[in-house]
């Protein structure tokens, strides 16, 4: 009895009569393993899959939201207007206020590494 699995670039086949495992690439290259090496290969594949599956991913620390700057509604509306209009000089928001908002925002998101923020 033969068990065959066809994939896009390779075919896997187990021949129960000959007790062999064959891997065939689409260009005709072929590897034939006897049952001992086929079993060792499968153990290797399972071990690698479990290793990657069970790999612990380090968790990122979330910064507390308590330290975020408090902006009044007027400043938020003015900042939104400036960002929507893409004006270089925004008459509703003074340069000092804009610089203060940008500095507070930079301080919140700056880490030991360089900040990814565009401003």
CA distance 42 to 36: 10
CB-based burial label for 89 (10 Å; 0-12, 13-18, 19+):
exposed
**Per-residue pLDDT tens over the stretch 14-61:** 999 999 999 999 998 999 999 999 999 989 989 888 887 777 777 777
**Are the CB atoms for 31 and 23 separated by under 8 Å?**
yes
Q: How far is CA 37 from the centre of its chain?
A: 35
**Per-residue pLDDT tens over the stretch 65-105:** 666 666 667 777 777 666 666 555 555 556 677 677 777 76
To the nearest 5 percent, what fractions of the chain are helix, strand and coil?
40, 20, 40
DSSP H/E element including 114: none
Residue 119 is predicted with a pLDDT of: 47
Confidence of residue 11 (pLDDT cuts 50, 70, 90): very high
Q: Where are the domains of the chain?
A: 2-53, 65-109
Confidence of residue 13 (pLDDT cuts 50, 70, 90): very high
Residue 86 is predicted with a pLDDT of: 59
**What residues are paired with 14 via a beta bridge?**
3, 21
CB-based burial label for 78 (10 Å; 0-12, 13-18, 19+):
buried
CA distance 20 to 14: 6
């Amino acid at each position: 009895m033969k068990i065959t699995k066809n994939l896009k670039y390779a075919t896997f086949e187990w021949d129960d009569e000959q007790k062999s495992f064959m891997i065939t690439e689409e260009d005709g290259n072929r590897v034939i393993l006897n049952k001992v090496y086929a079993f060792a290969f499968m153990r290797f594949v399972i071990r690698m899959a479990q290793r990657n599956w069970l790999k612990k991913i380090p968790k990122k620390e979330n910064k507390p939201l308590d330290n975020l700057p408090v902006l009044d509604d007027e400043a938020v509306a003015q900042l939104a207007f400036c960002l929507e209009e893409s004006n270089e000089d925004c008459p509703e928001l003074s340069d000092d206020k804009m610089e203060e908002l940008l500095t507070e925002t930079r301080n919140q998101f700056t880490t030991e590494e360089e900040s990814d923020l565009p401003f």
